[in-house]
């Protein structure tokens, strides 16, 4: 594995950052599509080195690197909680064709009921004479699936007892009514569809129509269920973004955009000896323990390989270790904004709020252990809202602690405050996208000088 030395030239319209995020999260339904979608919304006329490993993406820019200089990294994840089709998704109940699904991540699954849903993902298609296969992305834009709720008349106590769906039996999307075939139709289809018996023939036909191929040429499918409602601006003054997958495509976009804009011309790197990097990972919502997750050695290997290549392979262990010690990583993930209807869920004096700035995590838990000197270096750059959970509340984790312990790099966690995290439709402030972008850009442009201001008394 190696990075490409060729410049990557990308296209960008004139939309403001919030509008660009809306396009990215609307189009990036599945992980295979998300990194290309983030890239195609950004404009660069400079040399961008890209290292792709599966669904990982490591991008970096440098000009005056010396052996032992550090890396300044912003890391984020690209996956979001969703429903995925099981390997054998075809199911029939009563007169309905149903689709078997499995949950991915910790979603608010009740929000998936009574939504106009569809499918998107990856399909492997036979090409030509059958000796070659193509990996194709597919997204069915029209409403195709729906998970209906049970009528109040058949569940009288649901408002008192709460809506508690069984995730195995109640979360199956409805595809269609069962079609009563004649014996002739059944015989004609039996041979053609036998290899596709794991999925409904109707679903396979929909996919083949989207891909403009024969059903028999579809060899394998890996599909997510997705909402068909587009992302949009909302609120009385259009101050909010209403969308799925803000966690964490919003951070991924802001980080990548900031990296590019921090180096708009060669002069922006004239005095920069550090390597500026963005690292995007998959599978954070299920623990990061995969080849494309932050728990894999990808980033460690990438830094080592980059250092070796930039130094013409004249680098020893001590030089590499010095590089790690000089490096700094910002883990960018969404934060829980204070909920106006549930304000008691936040610590009274540490309440992140939409449209008020980027949140800096200061929690000292087993999953998140910020060091004050690390926080100081970042807080010197821009104003942050410090985020602290109540002592009687638990919290989730993110890729920051995994990368900090796996790579040994100084790390802080920060993020955009949002509401409805892990819902099928999330909310964040429109201005927060601009704020995060500016914070990340300042980090790339100014951290080298800020980091030299602090002397540690040992």
pLDDT in tens, 219-256: 999 999 999 999 999 999 999 999 999 999 999 999 98
Phi/psi for 317 (5° steps) reads: -60, -40
Q: Is the pLDDT of residue 413 over 70?
A: yes
Extract the tokens encoding 315.
């680098």
138-142's contacts with Cβ under 8 Å and 24+ in sequence apart are: 138/207, 138/210, 138/211, 138/223, 139/29, 139/30, 139/33, 139/210, 139/226, 140/206, 140/207, 140/210, 141/228, 142/118, 142/228
Residue 202's alpha-carbon distances to 175, 199, 260, in angstroms, are: 9, 8, 44
Question: Confidence band (pLDDT; 50, 70, 90) for 116?
Answer: very high
Neighbour tally for 200: CB within 10 Å: 21
Question: Which distant-in-sequence residues (6+ apart) come within 8 Å of 394 by Cβ?
Answer: none
Strands (E), 311-362: 328-332, 335-336, 359-361
Extract the tokens encoding 324.
């790690």
Total-model pTM: 0.86
Domains and CATH numbers, the chain: 17-80+244-451 (3.40.630.10), 82-227 (2.30.250.10)
Which residues share a beta bridge with 316?
A: none
CB of 89 within 8 A of CB of 293?
Answer: no
Residue 240's alpha-carbon distances to 16, 22, 363, in angstroms, are: 14, 11, 27
Q: What is the pLDDT of residue 313?
A: 63
Mutual angle of helices 317-326 and 298-310, in 10-degree steps: 110
Q: How far apart are the first and last CA of the chain?
A: 40
Could you identify the residue written with the tokens 């800020």?
450
pLDDT digits (tens, 9 = 90+) for 97-111: 999 999 999 999 999
pLDDT digits (tens, 9 = 90+) for 136-160: 999 999 999 999 999 999 999 999 9
Question: Rounded distance, CA 156 to CA 359, Å?
Answer: 42
Closest CA to 277 of 3, 30, 28: 3
CB of 143 within 8 A of CB of 116?
Answer: yes
């Amino acid at each position: 594995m190696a990075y490409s030395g060729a410049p990557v030239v990308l296209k960008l319209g004139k939309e403001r950052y919030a509008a660009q995020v809306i396009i990215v999260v609307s189009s990036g339904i599945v992980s295979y599509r998300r990194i290309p979608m983030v890239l195609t919304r950004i404009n660069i006329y400079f040399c961008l080195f890209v290292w792709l490993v599966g669904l990982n993406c490591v991008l970096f820019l440098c000009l005056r690197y010396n052996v032992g200089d550090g890396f300044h990294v912003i890391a984020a994840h690209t996956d979001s909680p969703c429903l995925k089709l099981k390997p054998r998704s075809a199911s029939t109940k009563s007169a309905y064709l149903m689709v078997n699904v499995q949950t991915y991540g910790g979603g608010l699954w009740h929000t998936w009921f009574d939504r106009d849903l569809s499918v998107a993902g990856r399909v492997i298609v036979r090409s030509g004479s059958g000796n070659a296969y193509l990996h194709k992305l597919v997204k069915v834009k029209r409403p195709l699936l729906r998970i209906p709720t049970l009528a109040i008349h058949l569940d009288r106590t649901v408002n008192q007892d709460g809506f508690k769906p069984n995730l195995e039996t109640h979360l199956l999307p409805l595809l269609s009514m069962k079609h009563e075939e004649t014996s002739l139709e059944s015989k004609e289809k039996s041979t053609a569809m036998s290899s596709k018996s794991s999925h409904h023939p109707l679903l396979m036909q929909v996919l083949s129509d989207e891909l403009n191929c024969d059903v028999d040429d579809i060899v394998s499918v890996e599909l997510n269920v997705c909402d068909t409602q587009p992302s949009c601006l909302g609120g009385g003054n259009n101050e909010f973004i209403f969308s799925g997958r803000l966690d964490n495509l919003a951070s991924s976009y802001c980080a990548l955009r900031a990296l590019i804009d921090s180096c708009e011309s060669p002069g922006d790197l004239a005095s920069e000896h550090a390597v500026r990097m963005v690292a995007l990972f998959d599978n954070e919502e299920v623990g990061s323990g995969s080849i494309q997750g932050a728990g894999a050695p990808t980033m460690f290997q990438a830094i080592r390989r980059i250092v070796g290549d930039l130094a013409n392979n004249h680098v020893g262990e001590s030089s590499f270790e010095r590089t790690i010690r000089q490096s700094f990583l910002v883990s960018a993930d969404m934060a829980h904004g204070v909920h106006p209807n549930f304000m008691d869920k936040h610590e009274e004096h540490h309440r992140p709020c939409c449209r008020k700035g980027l949140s800096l995590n200061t929690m000292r838990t087993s999953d998140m252990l910020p060091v004050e000197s690390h926080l100081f270096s970042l807080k010197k750059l821009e104003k942050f809202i410090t985020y602290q959970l109540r002592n009687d509340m638990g919290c989730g984790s993110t890729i920051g602690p995994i990368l900090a312990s796996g790579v040994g790099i100084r790390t802080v966690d920060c993020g955009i405050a949002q509401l409805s995290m892990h819902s099928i439709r999330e909310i964040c402030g429109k201005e927060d996208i601009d704020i995060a972008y500016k914070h990340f850009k300042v980090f790339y442009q100014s951290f080298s000088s800020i980091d030299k201001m602090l002397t540690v008394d040992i």
